[in-house]
Structure 1
Amino acid sequence: MSSPPVTGPAAVREHRGGPGPARFRPRRTPPAGAARPARRGILSYWRQYLAISPFYLIFTVFSFGPVFYSLYLAFQRYDGLGTKQFVGLQQFEFLWNDPVFWLSIRNTLVIWVLSTVPTLFGALVLATLLHSVRRFKGFYRIALYVPNVTSIVAVAIFFGAVFSNDFGLVNAILGTVGIDPVPWLSDPWLIKVVIALLMTWMWTGYNMIIYLAGLQAIPQSVYEAARMDGAGPVRTFFQITIPIMRPIILFTVVISTINGLQSFSEPQVLFASNAANQNLGGPGQAGLTTLLYFYQSAFLDNDYGYGAAIVWAFFVLIIVLVVINWRIVQRGRKP
């Protein structure tokens, strides 16, 4: 006996081409005659633009505007009070023949190399060790990152006391083992070493956190496959970890290059100008960096035009070095 046919809302329609329930699909195009919604123009979002406008106004007035004003000053002779006098390229010509400027460039490059290489190498080693730690990992992260958020002025004063020629802690420790006091803050090369150590101590933890985040993003299956193929820890590190971390290493190299070349507060606090040291940078101006020379020319000598020329020439140097570092790190990478 056959069951009665189902009627009413419970009935399911069939396809025209065969049995089976019909599939109802939403209409993708508006029906004929329906009005399409009009596109909103840029002016229709004026409330949103008005809400974010204070940031851009402040940035333009206090950051973006002064940058181009300094470029304008680089072609002027101006002491901050009198009238500006257009001198064309004379500031840059004097800069090219200025021995103190080239001394500051050499000091800056030496300090940059002495600080950047140990910083990045130490950060990568610490990140690798911390990545394998199972207990107290959060404590180690905070302890290694604290120097980066510490006031640079306080750190510079601390290093000045620790490496003092007469009453420094380092010389006191060396004296207990029969070593004569070392002129940390008077020898030209040791001055650069102290500044580089200060910068290394401050920035190692910052780069370590970045490397640690990159290491944690690498799947463990990659290392397991390498161990199954017989790769040891050293080979795994150089052939798996380093290639995968290449973009992160490139980022830290660029950031460290920019930060390392902009050293100012470290030598400025360590070797503040006084009666015995009219020029900044310590004995023999061994710690005179380019930004410190810019500060001396613009704000101590009141030669704002020459100071602007210094900072713009230094900006070009930073761009060149960043491009060179980018090329070196990118070399050997498959397209």
Structure 2
Amino acid sequence: MSVLAPPKPSRAAPAPREPRRLGFSQRAGRWDVKLSPYLYISPFFVLFAVTGLFPLAYTAYVSVHDWNLIGGQGDFVGMANFADVVQQPRFMTALRNTFSIFLLSSVPQVLAAIVIAAVLDANLRARTFWRMGVLLPYVVAPVAVSLIFSKLFADESGLINAVLGGLGIDAIRWHADVLASHVAISSMVNFRWTGYNALIFLAAMQAIPRDLYEAAVLDGAGRVRQFFSITVPMLRPTIIFIVITATIGGLQIFDEPRMFDQLGQGGSDRQWMTVTMYLYELGWGSQKSFGKAAAVAWILFLIIVVIGLINFAITRRISSASSAPKPVTSGGKR
């Protein structure tokens, strides 16, 4: 006959522990980890809100009012300022000149900057000297550059026409012809900004892994093939950045065309007057209409946004076709 063991006494469930309260120092440590990154970047956004967003919003408010430089704020006119500005022939002329100068300066500028950066990335003697040398034009004040180039491209006594005359070529009317004036102003922009963009491309090129070039050399690829198959695809983010910044700066050009002659009005027929110069003429010229000037500023802002988005989409689509470098041989086989 089996004897049953006495049942074991059941243990009572442990009482739930009260949650531990964090001390002030521990809470401060957690807040520091979570909030410190936002505090570090907050000065930029605060300054941008004060110097960027507020003027942009205030300009929109001014653009819908009959605002005069002397009389101050007038009646609410809605979109009348925009409609009046768009119908002005000078606005269309300024828009044409802006796009022409932008294309003549930005496209050659980006291409030349990539080539110069590739040369500076090679094993040159006194590399630091050459790299600092390409940045010197950027340090020169834009007013000084404009004054020097306006003399170089003078119609009667300019150095460029003197050289052309020595070659048997007729003198070019740099301040009278539309295309010639755009070429002269674009040369100023390219002179100032090509070296700056070249250093940005150079920094991106130096971040490319060197073993990719070593593998390409073992496969028999030359320098040109390495440039188009490795360097250019790896520069995709930098190219997008340079194109967007060049678009913003090119459409806002003011100093170079303003100082191209002594009057600063964009020529007798406004043949090189840009949109920003037209904005200045509306606000501080004979009309002194801040409302119309603000409308031009907002039209230019919208144009820059649209062109920037188009440039971003195009460059991203083109570069995504060759987003990663592929080992190549001299015969083109992988």
TM class by smaller structure: 0.7 to 0.9
The corresponding residue for 1:326 is: 312
Within 5 A, what are the aligned runs for 1:39-50?
Answer: 39-40=27-28
Maintained 8 Å contact 1:124/1:208: yes
Listed as ranges, the matches of 1:121-140 within 5 Å are 121-140=111-130
Report the secondary structure of 2:238's partner residue: helix
Aligned to 1:26: none
- AA at the equivalent of 1:221: D
Indicate if the aligned counterparts of 1:188 and 1:283 stay in contact, CA closer than 8 A.
no
Seen in structure 2, the aligned counterparts of structure 1 residues 178 and 145 have a Cα distance that, compared at 3 Å, is: same
Give the direction of change, closer, same or farther, for the CA distance of 1:60–1:81 in structure 2 (3 Å limit): farther
TM-score for both structures, normalised by structure 2? 0.81
The answer on 1:75 being equivalent to 2:64 is yes
Q: Tell me the CA shift for residue 127 of structure 1.
A: 0.6
Paired AA for residue 315 in structure 2: V
Contact 2:69 2:283 in 1 (8 A): no
Give the counterpart of 1:316 among 302, 311, 314. Answer: 302
1:257 maps to which residue? 247
Q: Does 1:288 align with 2:277?
A: no
Q: Are 1:148 and 1:202, in contact at CA under 8 Å, matched by a contact in 2?
A: yes
Could you say what secondary structure the match of 2:103 adopts? helix
Measure how far apart 1:234 and its partner are: 2.2
Q: Any unmatched runs of 5+ in structure 2?
A: 1-16, 32-37, 324-334
With structure 1 as the length reference, what TM-score do the two structures score? 0.81
**Cα pair distance change 1:32/1:68, threshold 3 Å:** closer
Question: Hey, what's the Cα distance between the residues in 2 that align with 1:214 and 1:308?
Answer: 38
- Whether 2:235 is the aligned partner of 1:216: answer no
Name structure 1 gaps, 5 residues minimum.
1-30, 43-48, 275-279
1:232: Cα distance to partner? Answer: 2.5
Alpha-carbon separation, structure 2, partners of 1:323 and 1:66 = 22
For 1:1-335, what aligned pairs fall within 5 Å after superposition? Answer: 35-38=21-24, 39-40=27-28, 62-82=51-71, 83-273=73-263, 280-300=265-285, 301-332=287-318, 333=320
The separation in 2 between residues aligned to 1:243 and 1:57, in whole angstroms, is 36
Offset at 1:75? Answer: 0.3
- Give the Cα–Cα distance (whole angstroms) in 1 for the partners of residues 204 and 41 of structure 2: 33
1:293 positional shift: 0.4
Could you say what the CA RMSD is over the residues aligned between the two structures, in angstroms?
A: 2.9
1:183 counterpart SS class: coil
Over 6 Å off, 4+ runs:
49-58
How many Å separate the matches in 1 of 2:64 and 2:18?
66
